[in-house]
Amino acid sequence: MALGATIFRTQLNVADIDRHYYADHALTLARHPSETDERLMVRVLAFALHAHERLEFGRGIGAADEPDLWQRDLTGRVECWIDVGQPDARRVRRACGLSDRVVVYAYGGRTTDLWWAKAEPDLASAKGLSVIALSGSTTSALSTWPTRSMELQMTVQDGEAWFSDGATRILVERRWLLGAP
């Protein structure tokens, strides 16, 4: 018998002073049995950093034709495609052709640098692409947060992002590999 997805409900408060965006989001996430707590929380972090009323989660790991998150306009055209992890360069180039803007949040410590060394020649000229490496300390701290019901806060000011679960507050350490902050 196959294991089903685990459902997580999250109340997310976003205060993005840089974008003048202030909102509360009630999120429902399904974690695939093969997805780690770290990956789940990187998806939530990506949502918090790009929060918008039309930003939504894709169908997940098993859906090759959808991103982890995307924002579509009212006609269904993809404005922003967001992937987490270390996606294949072909997938990223395809996403660049389908969307105005593509953001990849790479994580995994040293393997991120190895992945980028291999992917950079194929992606350096991609239109509308940003690749951001998350520090291992950030993602390992996030991986301790998941509970079936979470209350999280994201504050962004002067380019710095602070994420909190109420008990712990962390600085989101990120490094732009491609694209501008």
pLDDT band for 1, please (50, 70, 90 cuts): very low
3 state DSSP class of 129: strand
- Over range 64-84, report the average pLDDT: 94
Mean pLDDT along residues 6-23: 97
CA torsion 56-35-106-8 (nearest 10°) is 40
Residue 4 has what pLDDT?
82
Q: What is the pLDDT of residue 63?
A: 67
Q: How far apart are CA 68 and CA 83, in angstroms?
A: 5
**Mean pLDDT for the chain overall:** 94
Q: For the residues 47-75, what does the mean pLDDT come to?
A: 90
Residue ranges covered by each domain of the chain: 11-178
Give me the pLDDT at residue 181, please: 78
Q: Is the pLDDT of residue 49 over 70?
A: yes
Which pLDDT score is estimated for 122? 96
Phi, psi of 33 (to 5 degrees): -55, -25
11-178 sits in which CATH class? alpha beta
What pLDDT is recorded for position 180? Answer: 82
How many whole angstroms separate alpha carbon 29 and alpha carbon 36?
13
Residue 18 is predicted with a pLDDT of: 98
Residue 64 has pLDDT above 90, yes or no: no
The residue among 138, 139, 128, 130 whose CA lies nearest residue 40 is 139
**What is the pLDDT at residue 62?**
63
6 pairs with which residues across the strands?
Answer: 31
Of 81, 83, 80, nearest to 107 by C-alpha is 83
Per-residue pLDDT band at 59 (split at 50, 70, 90): confident
